[in-house]
Amino acid sequence: MTLKGSAFIAGAYEHPTRKADDKSLAQLHAEVAKGALDDAGLTKDDVDGYFCAGDAPGLGPLSMVDYMNLKVRHVDSTDTGGSSPLIHVAHAAEAISAGRCSVALITLAGRPRAEGMATGTAPRIATATAPDVPFEFPYGPTIVNMYAMCAMRHMYQYGTTSEQLAWVKVAASHHAQHNPHAMLRDVVTVEEVVNSPVIADPLHRLDCCVISDGGGALVVVSPEVAASLKRPKVRLLGAGESPKHQMGGKVDLTYSGAVRSGAAAFEMAGVNRSDIQYVSIYDSFTITVLMQLEDLGFCEKGQGGKLVADGNLISGVGKLPFNTDGGGLCNNHPSNRGGMTKVIEAVRQLRGEAHPAVQVKNCALALAHGTGGSLGTRHGSATLILERQ
């Protein structure tokens, strides 16, 4: 079943908070839901499908449809970590195509900052019964040192440098200076990135994303519902998803599931890499962006360092403008899951509603890509290709 043209993103909303001391988790989910429905010109009574992942409280969809008093006939709680919202968009399109719903609400929210989480540097157990835990947890795997091992191997195998990785952060900071909600709005230089303290070799503090509270929501609707709404129309053109893992011990840290999710999305969309005018790329760390751009086919494997260097990712400067909201590296990484904000900024670009200083001229075709879980162990990749209609 192709999903091409099967659904539209009609509503998108990013919560302005970055530290939610005075809000509950369920409240954040509901506030972003309200924001996205208002944006679409719909009400909660129009919602007949609800999607959320492990960041939602309690029993996920059950707890949240109760809290929001939604009367839905379809729920989906697929959880691939930070890429979940991208997968939810594709699954919403599938559910719409199958006639199981016509207005799908997707929410993501979290408050790791208010809770004082050492998100990147403290070893965490997702589920104690996971079969990998005894063979990994005692060694102290953290989010940052797992991505660091990918960077270390990439440097060894392809000659990638810390300076090239730093350019990813430099580009994000150029965009974040225009976003009043961004946590980090100062433009930084390559030197500042490589001279910031090393967290886990070879990643520096400024190679890492922010820890922030907040969230976001999307409303995905059928073509019939979309036709009745007033906002600019963003059409789903292609979607792909793929988990990748340690392959029974045949570990290969040089590529991600984006190799498969990207190829599937491009095939469905029927467009070329060179047609894409804007990309939202998951940026938990600088290495995440570099590897995913290679795996999505924007350059040959191993050439990501050259692709991201010298301002090539800066809107108005380079050939491949990315994360024009400042991304997870500077703007927002709510609930330690950056996928939602990736889709939201792609929607802004396609509507022509990004900040004027970073808006891509006549942006008609955009790609959003997420990686959830950990690039160094097991992760879920998801790619969306979206067009303005």
Partner 1 sequence: MTAQTRKIPAPQTNPENKPFWDAAGEGRLLVKRCRACGEAHHYPRALCPFCFSDDTEWQDASGRGTIYSYSVMRRAPVPYAIAYVTLEEGPTMMTNLVDCDFDALRIGQPVKVVFAPTEGGAPMPMFTPA
Q: Would you tell me which residues interact with partner 1 (CB under 8 A)?
A: 121, 128, 131-142, 144-146, 148-150, 152-153, 156, 197-203, 246-251, 253, 377
Nearer to partner 1, 69 or 135 (CB): 135
Do residues 40 and 10 touch, judged by C-beta distance below 8 A?
A: yes
State residue 287 phi and psi, 5-degree precision: -65, -30
For the CB of residue 125, give the shortest distance to partner 1 in the complex, in Å: 9
d(CA 96, CA 38): 21
Do residues 6 and 90 touch, judged by C-beta distance below 8 A?
A: no
Do residues 49 and 75 touch, judged by C-beta distance below 8 A?
A: yes
Longest dimension (CA), the chain: 55
Nearer to partner 1, 248 or 356 (CB): 248
For the CB of residue 294, give the shortest distance to partner 1 in the complex, in Å: 17
For the CB of residue 160, give the shortest distance to partner 1 in the complex, in Å: 13
Residue 364, burial from CB neighbour count under 10 angstroms (0-12, 13-18, 19+) = middle
Q: How far is CA 135 from CA 77, 252, 353, 377, 378, in A?
A: 28, 18, 47, 12, 14
For the CB of residue 158, give the shortest distance to partner 1 in the complex, in Å: 12
The 8-class DSSP code of residue 285 comes to B
Do residues 256 and 375 touch, judged by C-beta distance below 8 A?
A: yes
For the CB of residue 283, give the shortest distance to partner 1 in the complex, in Å: 19
Q: How far is CA 218 from CA 148, 246, 272, in A?
A: 32, 32, 26
Judged by DSSP in three states, 364 sits in coil
Nearer to partner 1, 169 or 388 (CB): 169
For the CB of residue 201, give the shortest distance to partner 1 in the complex, in Å: 5
For the CB of residue 139, give the shortest distance to partner 1 in the complex, in Å: 5
Nearer to partner 1, 93 or 203 (CB): 203
Nearer to partner 1, 99 or 135 (CB): 135
Nearer to partner 1, 377 or 389 (CB): 377
Judged by DSSP in three states, 210 sits in coil
Residue with tokens 């991201």: 308
Q: Residue 66's CB: how many other CB atoms inside 10 A?
A: 12
Nearer to partner 1, 34 or 153 (CB): 153
For the CB of residue 254, give the shortest distance to partner 1 in the complex, in Å: 10
Q: Kindly provide the b/e burial profile for residues 231-268, where b requires at least 16 CB atoms within 10 angstroms of the residue's own CB.
A: bebbbbbbbbbbbbeeeeeeeebebbbbbbbbbbbbeb
State residue 295 phi and psi, 5-degree precision: -65, -30
State residue 289 phi and psi, 5-degree precision: -65, -50
Nearer to partner 1, 240 or 257 (CB): 257
Nearer to partner 1, 223 or 243 (CB): 243
Nearer to partner 1, 194 or 237 (CB): 194
d(CA 379, CA 364): 30
Q: Radius of gyration over alpha carbons of the chain, in Å?
A: 19
For the CB of residue 302, give the shortest distance to partner 1 in the complex, in Å: 15
